[in-house]
Amino acid sequence: MNVSMNALRILAAILVVVSHVRAMFFVDFVDAADQGLVAQTLYASTSLGHQAVIVFFALSGYWVGGAAMRAVRRDPPSLGHYARARLTRLWLVLVPAIALTELLDRVGAAIRPDSDVYQGSSAYHTVVPVGGPLPSLDAVDALGNAVFLQRLYVPALGTNSPLWSLMAEFWYYLLFPAALLVLKRGASWRVRVAAVLTLAAGIAVVSFPTEPRAPGVLALFPAWLLGAAVAWRRDAIAEVLDRIGGPVLASVRAILVVTVLACAAVDTTRGTRATTLALALATAAMVASFITDIRSPRARRIVAPVATWAEWSYSLYATHMPVVALLAALIVPLASDRWALTPVTYLGLLGITLVPVAVALGFYQLFERHTDRVRQLVTPKGSRRDARREEAPAVASGEQ
């Protein structure tokens, strides 16, 4: 286990959760009575959710893109193993998360029907639907979310707006190996034609959405591809890192982490394609620097416990939002009731964040931790050896 990358993964997931807790429980910075330096710092540190998703995309490109390249290199390509691994991983958490969202949103709306969370409010900036979550909880919406059409042809399910990034990840998982097969030397004409048709169909699906404010799936694809590029040159990068001394490498890594944070801060204020690409480039460079794991025993003792939390990062990402929404409806039912973000209430933010974390841990025990066992069940016996060789952790806004 690469403890440094897994630590990055769980930290990014927590940043997403914190950003959503802040949006649901605290007034916007422009409405804050105190807009001094301390307030600016508190708001800036709790507004990095979208930027954390870009980090997830780069990590996913590294892990899943690497698995796709290994699958395509084989002759014949072992795409069955790749598809089973990806879909098992996605659905084992996503399908129960859809059921949990349906349950919590309907219970919350029954308990606090007058809450702005369930009535809808523009104050939440689409963290929950402006028109309220109930209209997007029907069976068609649930099915559309299960087959990765959310925010393209159906809305994200209820209050669970973060599910959009799982949709993007799924299409990246499909488009990337299809493109590799189109370019693969020695591929048969049948394989190449099938790959071209798959690539064209996938691009068409994500390019012509009917949902308003659909995310630019292809516009964000470069962030994922940059991670895949790091996986492509993994061995060469590892050789370079092995030649760098420990203190120098530690300094380079620290500089790259700071660069990622700086790019994320700029992206929160500018939010342009250029700033997002700069963040993706910085993240890919940071990921490349961590291909070889932390060498210092002291540093590993500090980072390793954090890295173990990454095992449930997908559960946290997929389930936290309906939990946060329900808590907000119970505690601050009206958007006008939200608090000012101060050093004291910041502790409250951290305390509230512990609730979706606890739910995610239980959810992990029920579902996510059984991923390998389920993969074995759906893999033909004669193919399990190859499947084990192909398994590699991957991230989808927390999905591996």
User: Using one digit for the tens of pLDDT, what is the confidence trace for 25-57?
Assistant: 999 988 888 888 898 999 999 999 999 999 999
DSSP 310-364: GGGHHHHHHHHHHHHHHHHHHHS-SGGGPBP--HHHHHHHHHHHHHHHHHHHHHH
Element (H, E) at 60: helix 49-73
Look at residue 266 and tell me if it is in a domain: no
| Mean pLDDT, residues 96-119 taken together | 97
Between 1 and 390, name the one with better pLDDT. 1
Look at residue 269 and tell me if it is in a domain: no
Domain residue limits at 223:
3-238+293-390
- Percentage above 90 pLDDT, the chain: 80
| Mean pLDDT, residues 143-168 taken together | 97
Which tens digits make up the pLDDT trace of 117-146? 999 999 998 899 999 999 999 999 999 999
Question: Are 171 and 205 contacting, i.e. CB atoms less than 8 angstroms apart?
Answer: yes
**pLDDT at residue 385, rounded to an integer:** 57
Query: Is residue 270 helix, strand or coil?
Result: helix
For residue 9, is pLDDT > 50? yes
**pLDDT at residue 391, rounded to an integer:** 45
Look at residue 279 and tell me if it is in a domain: no
What residues contact 297, with CB distance under 8 A and at least 6 apart? none
For residue 386, is pLDDT > 80? no
Look at residue 89 and tell me if it is in a domain: yes
Total domains in the fold of the chain: 1
Look at residue 243 and tell me if it is in a domain: no
CA atoms of 160 and 233, how far apart (whole Å):
36
What residues contact 64, with CB distance under 8 A and at least 6 apart? 86, 169, 172, 173, 176, 228, 392, 394, 395, 396
Q: Provide the pLDDT confidence category of residue 380 given band limits of 50, 70 and 90.
A: confident
For residue 389, is pLDDT > 80? no
Look at residue 368 and tell me if it is in a domain: yes
- Percentage above 70 pLDDT, the chain: 95
Look at residue 255 and tell me if it is in a domain: no
Lowest mean pLDDT among 189-193, 269-273, 323-327, 385-389: 385-389
**pLDDT at residue 383, rounded to an integer:** 60
For residue 258, is pLDDT > 60? yes
Look at residue 347 and tell me if it is in a domain: yes
Q: pTM above 0.75?
A: yes
For residue 399, is pLDDT > 60? no
Phi and psi based region of residue 151 (left: phi greater than 0; alpha: psi -120 to 50; beta: remaining)? left
**pLDDT at residue 397, rounded to an integer:** 40
